[in-house]
């Protein structure tokens, strides 16, 4: 009997469908994938170690650059961890604005995923629709924070500044128009015969496997597990908002697509609720350890001048201890573990990124699939190499 020999091919690290420098070594029996091994590290920047050399405030811009499609969510997870360490209560207005920005960011992240995922499979038109709505969100971010992709808007204890005049009307216009845009996406894709052929029954990931691999986010919920950090461990007043957790039934590429569509609808609803109920009040905690004094006081009072200088040059000194805080980011559960030794810099800084855990499941998802389906499966788990390698 002839010996069976498998063909080994390299996909990446430079490949348009991996959306980053991901290398996957595939072993093939004809066109069937026998084994798939992801190779990481091509985008490693030592972000965790970098954060340990910076003050707690200085580490905020680093978080923007983890999953750069979900910067607001990254900021939120980090500042929640530091606020937990300090025992700070964030003003209600700041909490609501954080929720609003995080949900708009989730929509923007899902839009870039949907457009590029469809493009990878061969549906180019949707990308143009998705980037139209994403541009509206990025313009809101630019007006609110001054930046589009990496706004660094959140601060320990609150926000860098309040919403500018006129922004609430622009957010209202967006959330009112967005449901009709989702209907457009569904018209183009959901019942499209080619789309269903490329996604239904492809990359099936069972509920048991999803729990075993520790995946989170739409990848987990697409397999039928109803877990969302916003519901399980509410933060930033999420318990005050009405929303559901969409889940899939089969756990294939199509289910993960449907889950993200429904998530965009609920994110839009949450942002609308936050806007309608937005309370008045301060946007940052009144804590002298972290809050800069008013500029008028700095110019007229020596104590305020010294306080500003100390905060800017040295930061603050939290108590010794360790904390973990997580949020439901666009790709899953994003958590920050911080160990404080009482100095003005973290002693240990560890990031639990959803893309790293979700990518570990790729091998299981695509074993036994056709090589042509690899692109569809990789796209369905929506990884960003910036947070995989850290």
Number of domains, the chain? 1
CA–CA dist 103, 358 (Å, integer) = 21
Strands 348-352 and 332-340: antiparallel
How far are the Cα atoms of 68, 261, 284 from residue 109, in angstroms, in the given order?
9, 12, 26
Cβ 245 vs Cβ 262: under 8 Å: no
Write the DSSP symbol of residue 91. Answer: P
State the first-to-last Cα distance of the chain, in angstroms, to the nearest integer: 48
The predicted pLDDT at position 2 comes to 61
The predicted pLDDT at position 1 comes to 52
CATH number of the domain to which 198 belongs: 1.10.645.10
Residue 309, number of CB atoms within 10 A of its CB: 11
Residue 169 located in a structural domain: yes
Residue 7 located in a structural domain: no
- Low pLDDT (below 70) residues in the chain: 1-2
Residue 113 located in a structural domain: yes
Please tell me the number of Cα atoms within 13 Å of 144 on its side-chain side.
Answer: 29
Residue 36 located in a structural domain: no
Rg of the chain over Cα atoms, rounded to whole angstroms, equals 22
Residue 65 located in a structural domain: yes
Residue 38 located in a structural domain: no
Report phi then psi at 327, rounded to 5.
-135, 165
Give me the domain span that covers residue 169.
Answer: 47-389
Residue 276 located in a structural domain: yes
The predicted pLDDT at position 298 comes to 85
Q: What is the pTM of this model?
A: 0.93
> What tokens were used for 36?
């798939």
CA–CA dist 24, 185 (Å, integer) = 30
The predicted pLDDT at position 248 comes to 92
Helix locations, the chain, DSSP H? 47-51, 60-64, 71-86, 92-121, 125-145, 167-189, 193-199, 207-213, 218-221, 229-232, 253-276, 295-300, 302-314, 354-360, 362-366, 374-381, 385-389
CA–CA dist 46, 68 (Å, integer) = 16
The predicted pLDDT at position 245 comes to 95
The predicted pLDDT at position 312 comes to 87
Cβ 184 vs Cβ 115: under 8 Å: no
Instruction: Give 262-328 as a DSSP string.
Output: HHHHHHHHHHHHHHHT---S-SB---TTTPPPPHHHHHH-HHHHHHHHHHHHH---PPSEEEEEEEE
**ω before 121 within 30° of 0 (cis)?**
no
Residue 19 located in a structural domain: no
Cβ 98 vs Cβ 154: under 8 Å: yes
The predicted pLDDT at position 6 comes to 85
């Amino acid at each position: 009997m002839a010996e069976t020999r498998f063909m080994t091919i390299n996909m990446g690290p430079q490949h348009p469908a991996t959306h980053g420098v991901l290398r996957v070594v595939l072993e093939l029996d004809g066109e069937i994938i026998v084994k798939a091994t992801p190779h990481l590290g091509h985008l490693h920047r030592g972000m965790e170690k970098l954060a340990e050399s910076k003050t707690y405030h200085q580490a905020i811009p680093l978080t923007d650059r983890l999953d750069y499609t979900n910067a607001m969510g990254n900021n939120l997870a980090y500042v929640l961890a530091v606020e937990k360490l300090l025992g700070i209560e964030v003003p209600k207005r700041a909490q609501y604005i954080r929720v609003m920005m995080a949900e708009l960011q989730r929509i923007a992240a899902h839009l870039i995923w949907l457009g590029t995922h469809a493009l990878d499979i061969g549906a180019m038109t949707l990308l143009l629709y998705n980037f139209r709505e994403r541009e509206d969100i990025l313009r809101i971010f630019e007006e609110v924070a001054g930046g589009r992709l990496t706004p660094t808007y959140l601060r320990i204890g609150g926000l860098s500044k309040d919403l500018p005049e006129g922004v609430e009307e622009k957010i209202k216009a967006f959330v009112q128009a967005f449901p009709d845009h989702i209907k457009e996406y569904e018209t183009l894709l959901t019942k499209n015969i080619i789309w269903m052929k490329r996604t239904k029954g492809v990359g099936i990931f069972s509920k048991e496997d999803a729990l075993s691999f520790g995946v989170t986010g739409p990848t987990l919920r697409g397999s039928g597990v109803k877990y969302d950090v916003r519901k399980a461990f509410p933060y930033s007043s999420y318990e005050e908002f009405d929303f559901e957790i969409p889940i899939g039934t089969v756990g294939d590429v199509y289910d993960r697509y449907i889950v993200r569509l429904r998530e965009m609808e609920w994110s839009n609803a949450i942002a609308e609720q936050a806007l309608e109920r937005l309370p008045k009040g301060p946007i940052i905690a009144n804590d002298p350890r972290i809050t800069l004094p008013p500029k008028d006081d700095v110019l007229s009072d020596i104590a305020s001048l010294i306080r500003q200088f100390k905060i800017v040059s040295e930061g603050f000194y939290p108590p010794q201890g360790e904390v973990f805080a997580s949020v439901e980011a666009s790709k899953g559960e994003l958590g920050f573990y911080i160990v404080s030794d009482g100095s003005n810099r973290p002693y240990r800084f560890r990031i639990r990124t959803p893309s790293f855990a979700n990518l570990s499941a790729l091998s299981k998802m695509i074993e036994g699939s056709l090589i042509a389906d690899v692109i569809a499966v990789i796209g369905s788990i929506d990884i960003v190499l910036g947070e995989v390698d850290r």
